[in-house]
């Protein structure tokens, strides 16, 4: 059963609800940066509703530099296996279909800011 705060992300905030791996691929291959929220079991994992509240705040703090979606139960296992990010809840970042990395579990605000900035703006390759 999905936690109401997770449901709110799609129903009230308009985040895409990804129910198939085809939907995950279409979302993550679109131009720009993308964050997929992998909630896990929101009834058993007490961090899931917290991250459902934090994600919109992160989106605002980064001035919409990424768009957001929520992975449905039906794709969580495949998504975790495809990205190697197994802990839930987690935020998994993508650009052009490539997984940039993830942030599992609840973190301090400063850590979210630092890790998201690093994932969204990787250092330039040395020439």
Q: 46: closest CA among 105, 92, 103?
A: 105
Q: Which domain holds residue 32?
A: 4-120
- Report if residue 16 sits inside a domain: yes
Burial of 18 (0-12, 13-18, 19+ CB in 10 A): buried
Total domain count for the chain? 1
- In tens, the pLDDT along 2-56 reads 889 999 999 999 999 999 999 999 999 999 999 999 999 867 888 999 999 999 9
- Report if residue 127 sits inside a domain: no
Is the pLDDT score of 126 beyond 90? no
- Report if residue 23 sits inside a domain: yes
- In angstroms, what is the C-alpha Rg of the chain? 14
pTM: 0.92
- Report if residue 30 sits inside a domain: yes
- In tens, the pLDDT along 70-84 reads 999 999 999 999 999
Indicate which CATH number applies to the domain containing 106: 3.40.30.10
Tokens standing for residue 78: 């495949």
């Amino acid at each position: 059963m999905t936690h109401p705060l997770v449901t709110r992300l799609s129903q009230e905030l308009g985040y895409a609800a990804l129910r198939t791996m085809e939907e995950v691929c279409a979302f993550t291959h679109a131009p720009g940066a993308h964050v997929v929220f992998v909630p896990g079991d929101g009834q058993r994992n007490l961090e899931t509703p917290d991250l459902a509240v934090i994600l919109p705040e992160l989106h605002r703090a980064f001035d919409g530099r990424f768009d957001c979606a929520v992975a449905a139960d039906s794709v969580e296992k495949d998504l975790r296996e495809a990205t190697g990010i197994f802990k839930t809840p987690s935020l998994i970042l993508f650009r052009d279909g490539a997984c940039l990395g993830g942030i599992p579990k609840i973190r301090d605000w400063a850590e979210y800011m630092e890790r998201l900035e690093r994932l969204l703006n990787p250092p330039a390759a040395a020439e």
